[in-house]
Amino acid sequence: MIQLDAVTKRYGAEVAVRNVSMELPGERTTVLIGPSGSGKSTLLRLIIGLTQPDAGTVTVDGQQLTQTNIRSLRHRMGYVIQDGGLFPHLTGRGNVALMAHHLGWTQDRIDARIDELTTLVQLPPDRLAQYPDELSGGQQQRVSLMRALMLDPSVLLLDEPLGALDPMIRTDLQDDLRDIFRRLGKTVIFVTHDIGEAGFFGDHVALLHDGAIEQQGRMATLVREPTSQFAADFIQAQRAPLEHLEE
């Protein structure tokens, strides 16, 4: 469970996140949508403590994030970004095992956990011996997901994890990811600017605009009953495949 209370983050004169309060209950997928620059990534970075709020608080599993507990709380959160963010000089296995090594896990424990995750994310096991630039985009994201899940975090944060993939690979991974989220029952926060993807994953959707929450709730409600012109425009802006064809 994550709670944001009146969180504001500024970069100079720019307000990236504006007085945002939200509750992200456990075992649910919350999707953050909104145009580029609306504050989605900053919100995730605030939750995982990569950046600190100028005002307001972030609470993870009942503990308020502070400079002193951020390291231990971060172990409860897995983070996946658009291009995977894998270390290029480490193999897939090296990337996945890095934090566990650091925390002093035994080799047997590491190997057993990696076997479990390889099956979960459906990665051919031999791929783990490759370096990131020897893997396809989809495989890199599967490795990145393994790395995020290695310590069995209670929270999973994904920042446009499928944004750089071509449509068919993306659809495959969407299916697998949704299945994984349901099976693991974690608190998932998923950022996308694709409303179709948001509807596919999201039990709960928050639309961001200019650093603030414009509307949140069920996807069906957002689509059928947008409460502002901006929300209506955002939904309208996504083109259906046949929309431009003249018959």
Q: Which residues bind ligand ADP (CB under 6 A)?
A: 11, 14, 16, 34, 36-42
Shortest Å distance, C-beta 161 to ligand ADP: 13
Give whichever of 14 and 243 is closer to ligand ADP, judged by the CB atom. 14
* Closer CB to ligand ADP, 1 or 15, in the complex: 15
Q: Shortest distance, CB of residue 79 to ligand ADP, whole angstroms?
A: 14
Count of Cβ atoms closer than 10 Å to residue 101 Cβ: 11
Tell the smallest beta-carbon distance from residue 159 to ligand ADP (Å). Answer: 7
CB of 38 to ligand ADP, least distance (A): 4
How many whole angstroms separate alpha carbon 203 and alpha carbon 177? 14
Query: For residues 171 and 206, what is the distance between their CA atoms, to the nearest angstrom?
Result: 22
CA dist 90 → 75, 101, 142, 158 (Å): 20, 13, 15, 22
**C-alpha span between 6 and 212 (Å, rounded):** 10
Give the residue carrying structure tokens 């944001």. Answer: 4
Comparing CB distances to ligand ADP, the nearer of 123 and 162 is 162
Closest CB to ligand ADP among residues 82, 154: 82
Cβ closer to ligand ADP: 146 or 158?
158
**Residue 115 token pair:** 């076997």
Q: Is the dihedral of CA 142, 152, 58, 202 positive or negative?
A: positive
Query: What amino acid occupies position 188?
Result: V
Smallest separation (angstroms) from ligand ADP to the CB of 40: 4
